[in-house]
Each structure stands twice: as C-alpha cells, then as structure tokens.
Amino acid sequence: MQVLETVASRFGHELSVEEHQAGWCAYESTGTPLPDSTLAACVRGPAVFLGAVGDPRADGLPPGKRPEAALLKLRSTLGCFANLRPARVDEELVDMSALKREIAAGCDMVIVRELTGGLYYGQPRSRDADRAVNTLVYTKAEVERVAKVAFDLAHGRRRHVTSVDKANVLEVSQLWRAVVEEVAKGYPDVKLDHMFVDRAAMELVTAPKQFDVILTENLFGDILSDEASAMCGSLGLLASASVGGKVGLYEPVHGSAPDIAGKGIANPIAAIRSAALMLSYSFSLHAEAAAVERAVSKALADGLRTADLVPRGMASVSTTTFANAVAEAVK
C-alpha cells in the first residue's frame, strides 16, 4: 500500500482502498473464510489485492471452512481463469538462485496457469475412510480461452509458448494438446512446442532459459510455478495476476508464513510486484508499473536484502526498510 500511495502521488492519481477480511482471520471472526460482504466488495472491483490467507490452525477444518476455500471461491466468482506468474532471475540476485549462475542468469519466463478448472474444481469429489475421489475435467472452451491468454502474452515477449501436459497417459491432456494446437493456428508468428510435465519439471532446473511462456493446467501450474521460485532465489520474489474476468485478482505467490509474522523480516518484493501487475493489467498504467519494477531493481542494486536473500547470520534489512527504499525510488 505504501508503494501504491507513492505511485499515486508521483503520477497524480487518487488511490481508493477498501479492506475486507478473507481466509483465517475471517473464519475466526465470522465462522466462514469468505464472508458475503467481502465477496460483494470484490465483485464490485475494479481490482482485488489479496494478502496470504492461510494458517496452520485451520488444518483440522473441513474443506469448505479452510482459508483456501475462500481463494478458490473468489477466483471462480470473479471469473479469473488465467493465472500469470512471472519468474525472472534478477541480475542482482543470480547468486541466490538454487541453480548454478551459468544456468540461472538471464532466465525470464511467465507461467500461465489455468485457474478455475481441473482437479481443484472437478466433480465428483469425495472422501471416506477407505477411498477418496477427485475428478480431472476440462472443456474445449476452458482450454481455448486460457491458451489465447498465453499466446497473446507471448506475442509481446519472445513469441514462444511451451504447453505442458501429460498427453501420453491422460485423455484430458490429449484434449488440451489438440485445442492448444488449434489456437496456435491463429498466431502464426508464435512458436509452439509441447512438453510432458515430468520433463518440464526437469528442464526448469537444467535448462530454464529455453522458456518464454509456459502454458499449463491448474495442478501442474501450481507445482511448476513454485519450482520456478527456487530458480529465482526466493518464494518472496514472485508475484501473480489472476485475470480473465471483469475484476483482476493480484497476490504474492508465497504463503502466509505465520512463523515469521510480525517479526519484520518478510520479503515485500512479491507483494510490491503484484501491485505493479495490478497497475498494468487492471488499470493500464504501464508507465507506473514500470516505475515500480525499476524501483525494486534499484533497491536491490543498492545492496538492500531481506533475511531470505542473505546467507544465514549475515546482515539484512527489515520489511519496512526495504519497502521505504522502493517507495523513495518511485519518487
């Protein structure tokens, strides 16, 4: 919020913010992870900026009462069917990558994850003492619309889409592949290739520079995008945008990390970069979004690091100090 306020001040905008409860805090106070008042406010839009909603105290709750249920319902109600997760290795943080410098340097990809279908939403789903069922289902229309998002995005980047599936064993993936190939015919200047998800998981850590835009379904995208965080150096660096409906949903990829809450050591970069995505996708404020990204880079270039970005025992700065530096750079 501090960085957004600075952006508004510098560029002459008015920032209007409403705060509403979701996730564990909402469950504690209302008995539901997504109160009707919160959902109604989100539907009004024009954009939703979400904090991490989880808490380990919810682990014993039934699925509909867990914080994650709020997120799933919010995504489906808003119609946010495409999740965009940029994964770029910052030049200043190459040595923080879990990968060798020569492999990690220069990596810059976006994972486009289908967000409202697949195993997370498919019916039937059930569980008893001896058996559990989840259903993987996609329609042609669902695959088609998210594929178009990926190809449009690639058209403005390096014009390369890698579609990730498991078409050698899953009929759903066979449909996915066929629909993606059909969509690709409308983008003759964008290269398309296909990759099985197990190979993609390997290639992400052995040859990640080959990827520009990765297109994949819900479960695979959830896993691969977290794997990409190791390439970047920290889960605290990765932003996301969920788009496709009238109201965009923006959130850092990382979880709530209640073990470090209130200690001032959390990395704010993922949240700040999520705000930059919001400026760009929901408000078409591309210059403002670029100013935020440059400000993050400047803070890193000046040597500022939160605790997750330095070896254990070395000096780091607090969440607030880093955010202050980004805000000053925006000015």
pLDDT tens-digit series, residues 215-246: 999 999 999 988 988 899 888 899 999 999 99
* CA–CA gap between residue 178 and residue 66 (Å, rounded): 36
Query: Would you say residue 287 lies in a domain?
Result: no
**pLDDT tens digits along 287-323:** 999 999 999 999 999 999 999 998 777 889 999 999 9
Number of domains present in the structure of the chain: 1
Residues of the chain scoring pLDDT < 50 = none
Catalytic status, residue 166: yes
Q: Looking at the domain assignment, is residue 154 inside a domain?
A: yes
Task: Give the angle 158-201-87 at the CA atoms, nearest 5°.
Answer: 45
- Structural domain of 114: 81-236
Catalytic choice (95, 152, 193, 198): 198
Whether 73 is covered by a domain: the verdict is no
Separation between Cα atoms, residue 146 and residue 64, nearest integer Å? 27
Q: Cβ(296)–Cβ(273) under 8 Å? A: yes
Note whether residue 64 is domain-resident.
Answer: no
Distance between CA atoms of 62 and 75, rounded to whole angstroms? 20
- Please indicate whether residue 302 is annotated as part of the active site: no
198 is catalytic: yes
- Cβ atoms of 137 and 172 within 8 Å: the answer is yes
Beta strands in the chain (DSSP E): 47-49, 82-88, 108-114, 126-127, 132-133, 160-165, 191-196, 213-216, 239-243, 248-252
- What is the pLDDT at residue 177? 98
Give the integer Cα–Cα distance in Å for 126 and 98: 38
Among residues 90, 209, 226, 298, which one is catalytic?
Answer: 226
Average pLDDT, the chain: 94
Among the options 187, 222, 250, 308, which is catalytic? 222
Active-site residue, 222 included: yes
For 139-161, write each residue's pLDDT tens digit: 999 999 999 999 999 999 999 99
- Is residue 6 situated within a structural domain? no
Q: What is the pTM of this model?
A: 0.90
Q: What is the CATH number of the domain that holds 94?
A: 3.40.718.10
